[in-house]
């Protein structure tokens, strides 16, 4: 089976840096995804990691360590619009191409 | 423009009635998925289809049914056997293994 853990809530201030952690346990790991979801809306794709290391995309970066079953999403220069839920999702070969999602981390950015 | 269309955005039904949620895509994607989202529960996989005329159960398939007669369409029926159907339902498709899902805008179903 699969198990994905991430913190329920985090808070930060504008301009700061925040790191959202995700740990996972799967039997057939085949990629990790991060999504952003604003309240009442569909998730939007942020990043994809399948090999160990850091992927940088503008203000957002994502890191993966397959041996530790660990990933983090790093958000720099936080803006108020970054207040949202951040979903960690894993592709497990046992579920074909489907993604298994964690419960999400709600980030609140204050001024 | 290409994308995934879910309709309607809001849907109300009486308890005991079956209801079908529409999901149409013009992206030429082979794989399509249905998820359910409840507050504090994240997204849970209901059904997925890798190819036309084939689909697989996800983690919470009980009380739901799907069909995949056309590549473009993957409707989800919420049956009266689903004990707690009120939720936000999301449909997604996948362009390829190295990519993220493309999501529809979702249907919020309320059963009264």
Query: Cis omega before residue B105 (within 30°)?
Result: no
pLDDT in tens, A29-82: 999 999 999 998 999 999 999 999 999 999 999 999 999 999 999 999 999 999
* Cβ within 8 Å of A, B 1-30: none
B86 vs B11: CA distance, rounded Å: 10
Question: What is the 3-state composition of chain A as percent helix, strand, coil, each rounded to the nearest 5?
Answer: 5, 60, 35
| Cβ pair B42:A103 closer than 8 A | yes
Judge: B48–A98 Cβ closer than 8 Å, yes or no.
yes
The tokens for A3 are: 């198990």
The percent helix, strand, coil of chain B (3-state, each to 5) is 0, 55, 45
Distance from CA of A93 to the nearest CA of B (A): 11
Identify the pLDDT of residue A1.
60
Please tell me whether residue A81 adopts helix, strand or coil conformation. Answer: helix
Percent above pLDDT 70 for chain B:
99
Give the mean model confidence (pLDDT) for residues A5-25. 97
CA A39 – CA A50 distance, rounded (Å): 28
Place of tokens 């699969």: A2
- By Cβ distance, the residue of B40, B48, B101 closest to A103 is B40
Which residues does residue A74 pair with via DSSP β-bridges, in sequence order? A19, A61
> How far is it between the farthest Cα atoms of chain A?
44
**C-alpha–C-alpha distance, residues A67 and A47, integer Å:** 19
Residue B36 confidence (pLDDT)? 97
Q: What is the pLDDT of residue B97?
A: 79
- What is the end-to-end Cα distance of chain A in Å, rounded? 41
What is the tens place of the pLDDT at every residue in B36-81? 999 878 899 999 999 999 999 999 999 999 999 999 999 999 999 8
Residues A44, B58: C-beta atoms closer than 8 Å: no
* Predicted confidence (pLDDT) at residue B1 exceeds the cutoff of 80: no
Interface test with A, best of B74, B100, B105, B107 (most A CBs within 10 A): B100
CA distance A23 to A84: 20
Looking at chain A from residue 25 to 84, which residues have their Cβ under 8 Å from any Cβ of chain B? 30-31, 33, 35, 41-45, 48, 50
- Residues facing residue A25 across a β-bridge: A3
pLDDT of residue A27 exceeding 90, the answer is no
As a whole number of Å, the end-to-end CA separation of chain B is 36
Give how far Cα B51 sits from Cα of B48, B54, B72, B73, Å.
9, 6, 10, 11
- Return the structure tokens found at B34: 């249905």
Judged by a CB distance cut-off of 8 A, whether residue B98 touches chain A is: yes
């Amino acid at each position: 089976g699969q198990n994905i853990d991430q913190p329920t809530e985090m808070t930060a201030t504008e301009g700061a840096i925040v790191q959202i952690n995700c740990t996972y346990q799967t039997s057939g790991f085949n990629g990790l995804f991060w999504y952003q979801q604003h309240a009442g809306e569909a998730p939007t794709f942020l990043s994809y990691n399948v090999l160990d290391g850091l992927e940088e995309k503008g203000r957002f970066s994502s890191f993966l360590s397959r041996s530790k079953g660990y990933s983090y999403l790093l958000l720099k220069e936080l803006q108020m619009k970054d207040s949202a839920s951040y979903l960690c999702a894993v592709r497990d070969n046992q579920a074909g191409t489907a993604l298994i999602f964690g419960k999400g981390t709600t980030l609140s950015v204050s001024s | 423009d290409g994308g995934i269309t879910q309709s309607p955005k809001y849907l109300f039904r009486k308890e005991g009635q079956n209801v079908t949620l529409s999901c149409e895509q013009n992206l030429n994607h082979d794989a399509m998925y249905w998820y359910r989202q409840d507050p504090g529960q994240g997204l849970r996989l209901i059904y997925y289809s890798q190819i036309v005329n084939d689909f697989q159960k996800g983690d919470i398939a009980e009380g739901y049914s799907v069909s995949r007669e056309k590549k473009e369409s993957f409707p989800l029926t919420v049956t009266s056997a689903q004990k707690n159907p009120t939720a936000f339902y999301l449909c997604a498709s996948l362009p390829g293994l190295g990519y993220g899902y493309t999501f529809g805008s979702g249907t919020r179903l309320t059963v009264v």
